Amino acid sequence: MPASAQFENIDSTLSPSESGILVSRSIDISSIDVRSIFHKLNSPRILWSSPNQAFTLSFGSAITLSATGDLRFEKIKEAADLSFADADIDSFNNHLHTPKFFGGFSFDPSHKESPPWSGFHSSLFILPKINIVQSDNGFELTLNMYGEDIDPFQVESDLISLKSDLESMPLIHSSTNSHQFVKLTPSISNSLWNSQVNEILGSIKDGSVHKVVLAQSLRATLECPPSLLDVFYNLCDQNPGCYHFLFEPLEGNTMFGATPELLVSRNGNLIQTEVLAGSIARGSSQPIDEDLSKKLLMSSKNQHEHSIVLDNLNSKIKSFSNDVEINPQKIKKLETVQHIWTTMKAHMHTNDHILSITNTFHPTPAISGIPSDVAQNFIRSTEPFERGWYGGPFGWFDPTGNGEFVVCIRSAIAHENEVVLYAGAGIVQNSDPQEEWEEIQLKFQPILNSFNSP
């Protein structure tokens, strides 16, 4: 099959079956224009870049997995195990690549797919048909095919044709124009927000809940549909040290963001997580910024918020290991805010899959509250919108059960010329409603700023 035919059928998907076989082949490819490829190939489209993983660009679906309900993590794992059971993986390179599923979960397992989250099921994972990963020598190109009668030799032939087509694509220059917002529509007024926060503070005072993470959404209307690849690149440039992602399961419905928060990762028997709770603005100069950092570390309110999350994650990671290392607090400085930051790691005494570990960790008190069930009831009854995938785990996993999941914050979803942004704040004892309001507005800024050329 010629590569042009592959482009036309790139959105075809197959769910795993007991008789299906995954055939995966990869080859080095040195000279490509990512922008040309991104605009040529259709959805599903995925971009992923993290401090620990090379930049990845993916298209199409060889296998699509989805599940709903309280057992969605287990269902995805079982289907993925079936997908990898008889995999035929080979490479023209000197090293063997590892196919990966990319995807995530909604914040709430009861999530129902509806606008603006059309195409985003309660859980959805895609093993890309075409995967391009940045390497030391350029890029590594992988073609994944799944079915009952897949010819490995034909996959190899298609891969070589695909490589030729990608290398010959003409260069597309980036846009130099900023995207203009014509309207910003908040989900809630300042006065109603203050009322909601005070209601939560009353529940905290009477002891029914200790923390609730209350979120807002902001609908941004643009003059015309944006170039989301430019937005993604701007996010990467303006927010170093974050996990950058773009996920488009359906043409025209695209989630993207730059989250600073790792939920959990597994590499062999090593698992890592982190606490990112307690926030303050950035300063206009280095001395002011450092003074704000010191103020944050000395804040009893912010330290209390941080300790709630730390204690919770410490108890969760101990269910997998007795060897837990908690590093001293640091300050994580982002574009508009800075956070108290504690990293943790442990060596597992079990052989749990990253999906099982993620299921244990989600949701953390940093995105929902504590007790979790009480906090989530507050969220469902108070927030005037459905969170969708905001606050849910997003990331990847491989056939060995390794993987990396982040908390999907500092994120948005785009459809045509509208973008819906999400941000939240942790409400604890002594929280000030107006300060929490201002913190959320700061958290919107990285996404808003990414629509302007640097």
pLDDT at res. 15:
63
Count the helices and strands in the chain (H runs, E runs).
Answer: 11, 23
User: Which residue in the block uniquely carries the two structure tokens 């700061």?
Assistant: 442
Considering the candidates 261, 383, 404, 439, report the single residue annotated as catalytic.
261
Q: Which of 157, 150, 121 is nearest to 27 (CA)?
A: 157
Query: DSSP readout, 118-145?
Result: TT--SEEEEE-SEEEEEETTEEEEEEEE
| Structure tokens given for 184 | 């910003």
| H or E stretch covering 266 | strand 262-267
- 191-199 mean pLDDT: 97
Q: Domain extents for the chain?
A: 3-167, 181-243+250-449
Give 181-243+250-449's CATH code, choosing from 3.10.50.40, 3.30.420.40, 3.90.1150.10, 3.60.120.10: 3.60.120.10
| H or E stretch covering 192 | helix 190-205
Q: Is 243 left (phi over 0), alpha (psi -120 to 50) or beta?
A: beta
Contacts of 27 (CB under 8 A, 6+ apart): 91, 92, 93, 140, 141, 159, 160, 163
CA 152/CA 424 separation, integer angstroms: 48
Q: What is the pLDDT of residues 354-402, one digit of tens each?
A: 999 999 999 999 999 999 999 999 999 999 999 999 999 999 999 999 9
167 is catalytic: no
Contact indicator for 349, 153 with CB cutoff of 8 Å: no
Question: Taking 90 as the threshold, does the pLDDT of residue 184 lie above it?
Answer: yes
- 64-73 mean pLDDT: 94
| Structure tokens given for 113 | 């797919």
Q: Which of 321, 343, 309, 341 is nearest to 268 (CA)?
A: 321
Banded pLDDT at 9 (limits 50, 70, 90): very low
Kindly provide the residue ranges of all beta strands, DSSP E only, lying in 108-210, ordered along the sequence. Answer: 123-127, 130-135, 138-147, 181-186
Banded pLDDT at 10 (limits 50, 70, 90): very low
**Which of 1-5, 51-55, 134-138, 437-441 has the lowest average pLDDT?**
1-5
pLDDT at res. 211:
96
pLDDT at res. 178:
65
Considering the candidates 77, 100, 163, 211, report the single residue annotated as catalytic.
211
Question: Taking 60 as the threshold, does the pLDDT of residue 301 lie above it?
Answer: yes
| Structure tokens given for 119 | 């195409």
261 is catalytic: yes
Q: What is the pLDDT of residues 417-442, one digit of tens each?
A: 999 999 999 999 999 999 999 999 99
Per-residue H/E/C for 251-291: CCEEEEEEECCEEEEEECCEEEEEEEEEEEECCCCHHHHHH
Average pLDDT, the chain: 91
Rounded to two decimals, the pTM is 0.93
CA distances from 164 to 3, 45, 155, 161 (A): 9, 21, 14, 5
Q: Which of 23, 28, 25 is nearest to 140 (CA)?
A: 28
Contact indicator for 40, 172 with CB cutoff of 8 Å: no
Q: What is the pLDDT of residues 229-263, one digit of tens each?
A: 999 999 999 999 899 999 999 998 999 999 999 99
Q: What is the pLDDT of residues 202-238, one digit of tens each?
A: 999 999 999 999 999 999 999 999 999 999 999 999 9
User: Euclidean distance between the first and final Cα of the chain, in Å?
Assistant: 42
User: Which residue in the block uniquely carries the two structure tokens 């996920």?
Assistant: 247
Chain-centre distance of CA 281, in angstroms? 23
CA 130/CA 61 separation, integer angstroms: 8
Question: Taking 90 as the threshold, does the pLDDT of residue 95 lie above it?
Answer: no
Radius of gyration of the chain (CA): 22
Question: Taking 90 as the threshold, does the pLDDT of residue 335 lie above it?
Answer: yes
User: Which residue in the block uniquely carries the two structure tokens 């995925």?
Assistant: 46
The 3-state DSSP class for residue 13 equals: coil
pLDDT at res. 136:
78
